[in-house]
């Protein structure tokens, strides 16, 4: 439970995306592809897979659907809120794959420190994680210490990639959001 809430906060874009809700959007995994223009600026593509709601009431579920399908996907207010956090959204979309809802967003940044906790220091980019956080894939090196886990990339990397496990849905299925997604393409 701790991991999916952490990644919910990390993804202030799609589901990182900053919500003020009673329920909460959860997802199976989240992937980041950070393309660097300079060591501290560039763009990020973030993708959240199998998005669902953990709302316990119908009212909370309706709020989650509204926050995702109206606020995050369509509103200028969301774009403005992200811009105030150093994330200039250039693209946001939802799609279906194998009956699961996938959220993808792209944003530009001028300060790498505003990108989901990534830091740049001494010629290295790094992301500190809790020991129990699960890195599914990365093109960087995962280093473990007594108190934390770190993904590191040296200055030769122009793309920083990582995928984090968020939630398995084995014990708590939660409500799928895919059946409520209506594509603008008809």
Mean pLDDT, range 118-147, rounded to an integer:
96
Query: Quick one: tokens of 8?
Result: 């919910």
Mean pLDDT, range 34-47, rounded to an integer:
97
Within 10 Å of residue 119's Cβ, how many Cβ atoms?
A: 13
Distance in angstroms (rounded) separating the CA atoms of residues 134 and 39: 26
pLDDT in the model for residue 6: 40
Distance in angstroms (rounded) separating the CA atoms of residues 36 and 154: 12
Measuring CA to CA, which residue among 182, 165, 186, 174 is closest to residue 49? 165
Task: Using pLDDT thresholds of 50, 70 and 90, give the confidence band for residue 8.
Answer: very low
By the 8 A CB rule, do 28 and 146 touch?
A: no
pLDDT in the model for residue 183: 77
Mean pLDDT, range 124-142, rounded to an integer:
96
Task: Using pLDDT thresholds of 50, 70 and 90, give the confidence band for residue 172.
Answer: confident
Task: Using pLDDT thresholds of 50, 70 and 90, give the confidence band for residue 20.
Answer: very low
Residue 102 has pLDDT above 80, yes or no: yes
Measuring CA to CA, which residue among 83, 13, 6 is closest to residue 48? 13
Measuring CA to CA, which residue among 45, 101, 44, 46 is closest to residue 69? 101
Query: Quick one: tokens of 43?
Result: 């763009």
The predicted model scores a pTM of 0.83
By the 8 A CB rule, do 143 and 152 touch?
A: yes
The per-residue pLDDT of the chain, averaged, comes to 87
Task: Using pLDDT thresholds of 50, 70 and 90, give the confidence band for residue 170.
Answer: confident
65-84, pLDDT tens digit by residue? 999 999 999 999 999 999 99
Q: Containing H/E element for 129?
A: strand 124-129
Residue 15 has pLDDT above 70, yes or no: no
Distance in angstroms (rounded) separating the CA atoms of residues 77 and 83: 10
């Amino acid at each position: 439970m701790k991991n999916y809430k952490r990644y919910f906060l990390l993804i202030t874009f799609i589901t990182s995306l900053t919500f003020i809700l009673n329920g909460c959007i959860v997802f199976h995994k989240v992937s980041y592809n950070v393309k660097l223009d300079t060591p501290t600026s560039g763009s990020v593509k973030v993708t959240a897979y199998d998005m669902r709601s953990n709302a316990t009431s119908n009212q909370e579920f309706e709020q989650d659907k509204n926050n995702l399908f109206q606020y995050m996907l369509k509103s200028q207010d969301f774009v403005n809120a992200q811009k105030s956090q150093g994330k200039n959204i250039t693209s946001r979309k939802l799609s279906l794959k194998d009956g699961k809802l996938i959220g993808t967003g792209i944003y530009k940044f001028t300060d790498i420190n505003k990108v989901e906790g990534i830091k740049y220091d001494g010629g290295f980019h790094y992301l500190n994680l809790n020991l129990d956080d699960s890195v599914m894939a990365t093109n960087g090196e995962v280093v473990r210490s007594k108190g934390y886990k770190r993904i590191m990339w040296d200055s030769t990397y122009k793309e920083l990639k990582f995928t984090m496990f968020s939630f398995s849905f084995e014990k708590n299925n939660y409500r799928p959001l895919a059946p409520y997604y209506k594509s603008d393409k008809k």
